[in-house]
């Protein structure tokens, strides 16, 4: 499409401001690595919360949310449990506090206080670094694919006749712009620019929701969607039949593997609970937690994410979805089975949002991309510099040298992310790989590490290595453009070829999660029982510092032998209650703006009543309890840097 001159001006002005502001605050980051990686632990918790939400308000994810709401209606509220989105509730209730009380800089550094300095701890340290870098590169490729699909619909230049190549070129340009200020400014640049970007994005989101409400009446919408589309509840199956309105949507439901929605929901809940209980993955979410001033503020920061992310984002998602359903339906029907539902968001924007607001909206979505990319890129250097270079190569490296190496590390991971994103077929391919493969290999070891004293470094290493290894093997057939090559290469071995064909025809990589999790659990327990327990002094120090609940009986006994006044964490049942209430609260926060935009006001009022009731409960059972739960919040002792070598 051709953007109006005013839209182009808004977009260019915004991009220039993001770079200038990011560069302007960069001098704060160049002081030392703590300032570069964690903002010196001086940034306010509410700014970090908005920054974290902005990083999650990514363009690729928003395109998926529009796709899911378009096809599954209100039942799509449950599908983001794939990640799972309610991990923010676990973080809010207790895990952010536990993690921040550790006083570390990265997830790999946390390994020292949990497992000590032995060989098992060293191997665990390395596997966390590997996982962190692989996940960062995975998220970079995910963002790269999303921004390319978005930009090619709005920016007027076409570099080649190949649409896919144009998408990649645009993505390359926008990644380069964002990388410039992120690499220079570190955490300070990321947070300041993300707060600015999120403000713009929220204005655009609410405006799009209001436009849709003004143009699409409930009666008109019901004509273009199947019965039950506006019902958040479901049976064993989706209960949606698009045969009359849009047959391609029925095909998409089958392709996604989500026909048996009741079974899917149970899988989402099971997987979500396991992954959320593992704590944050070593990415930008963890970095925001470690950047807070103290454990109490870390928990409050995670609470902010749930509010500021979901409400404005779903105004945009719902607005664009119903505009596309009503005014874009005939075009979609004409495309038939060739319809790319991931293009609904950019196509709806280009057709239905007026000049001026379109420029603000496109700038806002570019902000979403830049926020996500900035947060992701900034999460990688600590692992390369602190956990590889300083630990194994040059323990005496100066702060100035390490900041410069952080620049190199950032550019390197961006290059790898671009290289993978260039060849990925769709956003959904990357999502399936992340939520099924990476999370499947990550979950088991990272759940057990918090809650069982006997779990050791060897168990952690073999659990992670087994899970990730199995995930990479079983999910290769889902690797988009490489599927044909894999099938051809396996043809010489009939048994292997038959297995590959079977895997390639499964409806969704997501359903491999239980098998990957089981393999990882075997690695965890075999590695643990075939090696000795960690030194009791290490375990006592970790237990006293972090104070987790769980199976810590022998350690508690040893601690109380030295300090009879020490009491274990009594909050297990309180925390579990708050998690249940919190998940209901979060789900209502998601459903409420969608019901408002589709003008189902009675249901919106019910959702609002649930939000108010659960907020009051959490005020009493969670927020007012934080100070008691973390009385030492302002006295966190940083963990000394580790200079051990293998």
| Higher local confidence (pLDDT), 638 or 6 | 6
Of the chain, the end-to-end C-alpha distance in Å amounts to 57
Chain mean position to CA 341: 21
Annotated domain spans of the chain: 5-257+279-424, 432-528
Task: State how far the Cα of 310 lies from the Cα of 56, in Å rounded to an integer.
Answer: 10
pLDDT value of residue 378: 66
What's the pLDDT score for residue 33? 47
Bridge partners (DSSP) of residue 452 are 551
Is residue 493 very low, low, confident or very high in pLDDT (cuts 50, 70, 90)? Answer: low
pLDDT at residue 539 tops 90: yes
- Output the pLDDT for position 645: 33
pLDDT value, residue 560: 95
- Half-sphere exposure of 18 toward its Cβ, with a 13 Å CA cutoff? 34
Is residue 622 predicted with pLDDT exceeding 70? Answer: yes
Q: If you classify domain 5-257+279-424 with CATH, what class do you get? A: mainly alpha
Which of 284-298, 385-399, 416-430 is the least confident region? 416-430
Mean pLDDT taken over the chain: 78
Note the pTM of the prediction, 2 decimals.
Answer: 0.80
The packing angle between helices 513-529 and 439-451, to 10°, is 40
Q: For 560-591, what is each residue's pLDDT tens digit?
A: 999 999 999 999 999 999 999 999 999 999 99
Give the least confident one: 373-377, 554-558, 626-630.
373-377
The helix (run of H) or strand (run of E) holding residue 123 is helix 119-151
What's residue 204's pLDDT?
Answer: 82
SS3 of residue 596 by DSSP? helix
| pLDDT value for 53 | 75
pLDDT, residue 499, reads 58
Burial class (CB in 10 A: 0-12, 13-18, 19+), 336: exposed
pLDDT in tens, 174-219: 777 666 655 554 545 566 666 777 787 788 888 889 988 988 899 8
Contact 88, 586 (CB under 8 A): yes
Task: Look up tokens 């926020």; give the residue.
Answer: 371
- What is the structure's pLDDT at 37? 46
Confidence of residue 32 (pLDDT cuts 50, 70, 90): very low
Of 58-67, 317-326, 536-545, the range with the lowest mean pLDDT is 58-67
Q: Are 185 and 29 in contact (CB under 8 A)?
A: yes
How far apart CA 525 and CA 528 sit, in angstroms, is 5
Q: What percent of the chain has pLDDT over 70?
A: 70
Give the pLDDT band (50/70/90) at residue 643.
Answer: very low
297 pLDDT above the threshold of 60 = yes
The model's pLDDT over 405-456, given as tens digits with 9 standing for 90+, comes to: 777 777 777 777 666 666 665 555 555 556 555 667 788 999 999 999 999 9
User: Which H or E run includes 603?
Assistant: helix 601-621
Residue range 327-343: average pLDDT? Answer: 65
Place of tokens 């051809």: 488
Closest CA to 350 of 150, 63, 71, 67: 150
Query: Mean pLDDT, to the nearest integer, of 621-638?
Result: 74
3-state secondary structure of 328: coil
pLDDT value for 230: 93
Q: In this predicted structure, what is the pLDDT of residue 90? A: 95
The CB density around residue 498, as the number of other CB atoms within 10 Å, is: 11
> Which among 414, 238, 301, 318 is positioned nearest to 65, based on CA atoms?
318
Distance CA 167, CA 154 (A): 11
Contacts of 304 (CB under 8 A, 6+ apart): 45, 46, 49, 50, 52, 53
Q: Average pLDDT, stretch 339-367?
A: 72
pLDDT at 81 over 50: yes
CB count in 10 Å sphere of residue 171: 25
Confidence of residue 332 (pLDDT cuts 50, 70, 90): low
pLDDT surpasses 90 at 89: yes
């Amino acid at each position: 499409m051709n953007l109006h001159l005013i839209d182009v001006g808004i977009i260019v002005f915004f991009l220039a401001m993001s770079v200038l502001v990011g560069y302007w605050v960069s001098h704060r980051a160049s002081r030392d690595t703590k300032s570069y990686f964690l903002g010196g632990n001086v940034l306010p918790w509410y700014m970090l919360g908005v920054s974290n939400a902005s990083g999650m308000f990514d363009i690729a994810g928003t395109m998926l949310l529009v796709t899911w709401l378009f096809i599954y209606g209100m039942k799509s509220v449950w599908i983001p449990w794939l990640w799972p989105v309610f991990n923010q509730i676990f973080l809010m209730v207790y895990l952010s506090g536990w993690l921040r009380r550790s006083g570390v800089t990265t997830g790999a550094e946390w390994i020292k206080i949990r497992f000590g300095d032995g060989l098992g701890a060293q191997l665990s340290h390395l596997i966390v670094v590997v996982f962190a870098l692989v996940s960062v590169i995975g998220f970079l490729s995910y963002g790269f694919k999303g921004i390319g699909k978005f930009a090619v619909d709005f920016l007027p230049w076409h570099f080649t006749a190949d649409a896919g190549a144009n998408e990649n070129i645009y993505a390359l340009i926008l990644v380069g712009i964002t990388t410039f200020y992120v690499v220079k400014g570190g955490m300070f640049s990321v947070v300041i620019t993300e707060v600015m970007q999120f403000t713009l994005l929220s204005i655009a989101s609410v405006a799009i929701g209001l436009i849709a409400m003004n143009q699409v009446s409930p009666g008109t919408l019901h004509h273009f969607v199947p019965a039950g589309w506006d019902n958040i509840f479901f049976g064993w199956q989706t209960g949606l039949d698009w045969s009359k309105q849009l047959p391609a949507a029925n095909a998409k439901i089958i392709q996604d593997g989500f026909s048996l929605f009741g079974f899917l929901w149970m899988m989402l809940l099971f997987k979500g609970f396991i992954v959320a209980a593992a704590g944050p993955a070593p990415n930008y979410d963890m970095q925001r937690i470690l950047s807070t001033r103290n454990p109490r503020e870390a928990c409050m920061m995670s609470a902010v994410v749930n509010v500021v992310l979901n409400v404005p984002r779903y105004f945009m998602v719902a607005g664009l979805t119903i505009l596309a359903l009503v005014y874009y339906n005939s075009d979609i029907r004409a495309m038939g089975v060739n319809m790319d539902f991931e293009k609904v968001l950019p196509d709806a924007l280009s057709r239905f949002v007026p000049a001026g607001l379109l420029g603000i909206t496109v700038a806002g979505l570019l902000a979403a991309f830049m926020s996500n990319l900035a947060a992701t890129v900034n999460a990688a250097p600590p692992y390369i510099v602190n956990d590889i270079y300083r630990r194994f190569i040059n323990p005496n490296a100066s702060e100035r040298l390490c900041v410069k190496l952080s620049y190199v590390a950032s550019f390197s991971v961006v290059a790898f992310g671009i290289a993978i994103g260039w060849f990925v077929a769709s956003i959904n391919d990357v999502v399936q790989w992340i939520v099924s493969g990476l999370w499947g290999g990550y979950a088991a070891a990272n759940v057990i590490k918090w809650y069982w004293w006997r779990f050791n470094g060897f168990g952690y290493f073999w659990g992670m290595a087994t899970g990730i290894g199995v995930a990479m093997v079983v999910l290769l057939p889902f690797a988009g453009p490489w599927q044909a090559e894999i099938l051809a290469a396996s043809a010489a071995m009939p048994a292997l070829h038959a297995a590959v064909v079977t895997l390639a025809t499964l409806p969704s990589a997501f359903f491999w999660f239980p098998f990957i999790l089981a393999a990882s659990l075997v690695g965890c327990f075999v590695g643990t029982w075939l090696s000795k327990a960690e030194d009791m002094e290490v375990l006592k120090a970790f237990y006293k510092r972090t104070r987790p609940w769980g199976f810590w009986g022998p350690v508690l006994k040893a601690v109380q032998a030295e300090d009879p006044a020490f009491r274990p964490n009594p909050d297990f049942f309180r925390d579990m209650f708050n998690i249940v209430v919190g998940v209901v609260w979060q789900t209502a926060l998601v459903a409420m703006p969608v019901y408002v935009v589709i003008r189902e006001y009675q249901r919106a009022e019910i959702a609002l009543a649930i939000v108010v009731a659960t907020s009051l409960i959490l005020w009493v059972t969670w927020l007012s309890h934080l100070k008691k739960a973390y009385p030492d919040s302002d006295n966190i002792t940083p963990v000394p840097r580790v200079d051990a070598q293998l």
